[in-house]
Structure 1
Amino acid sequence: MTQHSRDTPQFYLTAPSPCPYLPGQEERKVFTHLVGDKAAELNDLLTHGGFRRSQSIAYRPACENCRACTSVRVLTAEFTPTRSQRRVIDLNRDLVGEAKASAPTSEQYSAFRAYIDSRHRDGGMADMTVLDYAMMVEDSHVNTQLIEYRVRGMDTSVTGRGEGELIAAALTDRLSDGLSMVYSFYEPEHAARSLGTFMILDHIERAKAMGLPYVYLGYWVAGSRKMDYKRRFQPQERLHPDRWTRIDE
């Protein structure tokens, strides 16, 4: 019988299921567990190879007849917001983002539930309970934070905190070379603020301030309208079979 070290990751392949991005396609994923003392190091390595994290699982598409999913990372040092992105920044100058330990709260779940019900009621997260949400936030063996965005408060100049209601939040991993946005959500009543775009712009500025060259945005899916927004953050690199390739569109 072959013996495997507990530090050696074992990879598994899911059964085919309907693709959530491209009608008529099926998806399969290869995945492994991120546990133990080497979890953060392994998460770094796998993210560089196009994997994403969900709780203590790292996964990557392994579809038999499609290669549309492409990993994307923004080059933070060279990024300059477009005119429309500057408008989004101006629209949200009353918000303060504060990085916190990845601990779930009822306020977060309320915003998460409202977001899912409004934007993704037919998606894979539609049935997530408060316990499922807590697992999504807490079940991590890597360096993870939850950044909360609140309305700017009177004490901001002293403490840097917002005091108002929770407007949005982003679950984010700190990698050796960047920030990886695992999942973000917002109160749908504030959709006019373009909060999804704002949180990406804020993460780019955070990565710059930390001296990190990349913000990882997950997968851009050619032909999927819901993923097309990721093309707007330029310059960026996309992972092709043999290397990351710079894209300037």
Structure 2
Amino acid sequence: MAGAGVIDDYVTGLNRALRGPRSLRLDMVAEARDGLLDTAEAMQDAGLEREAAERAAVEEFGPIREIAPDYQERLGVAAGRRLAAMLFVGVPLTTLVWSMIWKVFPTAGTVYESTPAWFVPVARGVDMLQLFIGLMGGVTLLVLGRGLRRIRRPRLVIRCLALFVWGAFPVMALLCGALMVGSGGSFGFGDYPPGMAASLVSYAAWTAQLYGALRCLTATRHTPAAA
């Protein structure tokens, strides 16, 4: 295969050194490989042997420990943007779905009448927390977009958002658990398909948010070194 050898070993090491969204990481590595191959071919046309040309191209490109941090920062920002977008769009949408479910649920009034006095304030607290999480996602999305050039440490912003998501999860789980107990089971939706579907969507959204936060923490955990 054309280009197999020094350049392939180099890009393999670069790929191993990076952490972050797979599709973007593979695109970045492929772009680096294409650039190295173009440089090597130019040097080969100038008279160097193929292996020597590849080594010269790699040396000109720079050691992995020097170029990987810039690549890793881009991956971290991409992971942060994805998590922020997920929060900004998904969390308020989930809140809206639940609000609509309560409005069309045939026995919603009966459920409310049979719940303890703290049920409604806690339910509203859950809604407010979800909206705040969505707002945090929107602000972070703006910071990592148009505001990226104005911040010196995007890594800190990304890690703070990810840690916030992980910190908010147990609070949400506790509050929703309390609502479940207060409603006498599963919010009164045990035999109500739309309510059951909304519950599954909420669980899937939480799982995706936690996974996205974990990817952000992984992508910003450390400065890559040569493999």
Larger radius of gyration: 2
Task: Give the helix-richer structure, 1 or 2.
Answer: 2
| TM-score, normalization by structure 2 | 0.22
Task: Give the strand-richer structure, 1 or 2.
Answer: 1
**Greater relative contact order: 1 or 2 (C-alpha under 8 angstroms, separation 6 or more)?**
2
| TM-score, normalization by structure 1 | 0.20
